[in-house]
């Protein structure tokens, strides 16, 4: 249903227009807003993000969006997090000291330097995503990602969910396999940027929001 209304949550510190343009190119009805009423009545929502975790949470809190975001997720309607938007869903991040996240997904956000002290950081560029064996049995035509496809990444922190069952894809950076996307009920959130990942990235957006 391409006529469904998708709200991109504008918490005033993200690059939103590349996501908006990609969705509009696919034929979706898209709106940028931090209006709580518009969020609640939307058919689907996206939490994007570029920047620091603690500043993002501070902005979300100052706009009184924490409860509306959680209420939207609880409604069962499709919800997507992109890059920092994935990280914000977790319990906490160690970026610039420990900061509390939305706590929708149990787990933490860590810097790559912890497991990879001698590696080049940030992790930037195209990399492959792979679906864990436990998830492959659940794949179907509406599953949001394709196994072994390549996506575009720009990040220094990565998520470590407490529950391995929520891991949708993994990606290898140096010697580390990290969680590059999560799938839990009506939530799909990815560390990569589907809107910057060419045909395969657009396919992620199309599949997820056409479910």
Q: Which positions are annotated as active-site residues?
A: 83, 193, 195
Kindly give, in sequence order, each residue whose CB lies less than 8 Å from that of residue 168, ignoring residues fewer than 6 positions away: 131, 135, 144, 145, 181, 182, 183, 188, 190
Rg from Cα positions in the chain: 16
Say how far apart CA 30 and CA 177 lie, in whole Å: 34
Both tokens assigned to 9: 């949550």
As a whole number of angstroms, the distance between CA 114 and CA 144 comes to: 30
21: three-class secondary structure by DSSP? helix
Distance CA 121, CA 123 (A): 5
């Amino acid at each position: 249903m391409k006529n469904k209304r998708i709200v991109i949550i504008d918490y005033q510190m993200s690059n939103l227009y590349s996501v908006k343009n990609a969705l509009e190119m696919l034929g979706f009805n898209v709106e940028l807003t931090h209006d709580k009423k518009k969020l609640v009545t939307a058919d689907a929502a996206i939490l994007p993000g570029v920047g620091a975790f603690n500043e993002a949470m501070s902005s979300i809190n100052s706009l009184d969006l924490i409860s509306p975001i959680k209420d939207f997720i609880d409604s069962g309607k499709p919800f997507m997090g992109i890059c920092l938007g994935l990280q914000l869903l977790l319990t906490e991040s160690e970026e610039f000291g420990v900061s509390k996240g939305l706590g929708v997904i149990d787990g933490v956000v860590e810097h790559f330097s912890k497991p990879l002290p001698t590696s080049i950081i940030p992790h930037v560029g195209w990399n492959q995503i792979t679906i864990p064996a436990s998830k492959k049995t659940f794949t179907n035509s509406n599953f949001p990602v394709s196994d072994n496809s390549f996506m575009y990444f720009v990040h220094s922190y990565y998520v470590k969910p407490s529950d391995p069952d929520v891991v949708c894809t993994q990606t290898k950076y140096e010697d580390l396999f990290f969680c590059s996307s999560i799938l839990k009920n009506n939530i799909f959130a990815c560390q990569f940027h589907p809107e910057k990942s060419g045909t395969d990235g657009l396919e992620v957006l199309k599949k997820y929001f056409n479910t």
